[in-house]
């Protein structure tokens, strides 16, 4: 398991859920996540952020999903 790849998969999933809910990245500030930090979560590039459980809970709350839904990747390996 590669941390960078998993961070990208998580960021892509979070972005998908955010767009599905009709939120902008800027809207995440209402839930206590700065725009710059949130941008790094969705698009980690070569410097992925190490997300805390507290941040995952804030994101899940904002997106009205369970934390486990954030890890429900379409391309899960079997």
Residue 33 lies in a domain: yes
C-alpha distances in Å from residue 13, one per residue of 8, 35, 64, 76: 9, 17, 14, 12
Residue 20: the pLDDT is: 97
Residue that wins the pLDDT comparison between 43 and 76: 43
Banded pLDDT at 76 (limits 50, 70, 90) = low
Q: What is the pLDDT of residues 44-67, one digit of tens each?
A: 776 778 899 999 999 999 999 999
Question: CA nearest 66: which of 12, 17, 25?
Answer: 17
pTM of the model: 0.87
The CATH code of the domain that includes 41 is: 1.10.260.40
Q: How confident is the model at residue 19 (pLDDT cuts 50, 70, 90)?
A: very high
In a domain, 70, yes or no: no
Domain that holds residue 27: 3-64
Q: Which two tokens stand for residue 24?
A: 């902008």
């Amino acid at each position: 398991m590669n941390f960078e790849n998993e961070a990208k998969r998580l960021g892509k999933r979070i972005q998908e859920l955010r767009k599905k809910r009709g939120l902008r990245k800027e809207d995440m500030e209402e839930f206590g996540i700065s725009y710059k930090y949130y941008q790094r979560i969705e698009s980690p590039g070569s410097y992925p952020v190490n997300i805390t459980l507290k941040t995952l809970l804030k994101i899940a709350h904002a997106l009205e999903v369970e934390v486990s839904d954030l890890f429900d990747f379409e391309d899960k390996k079997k």
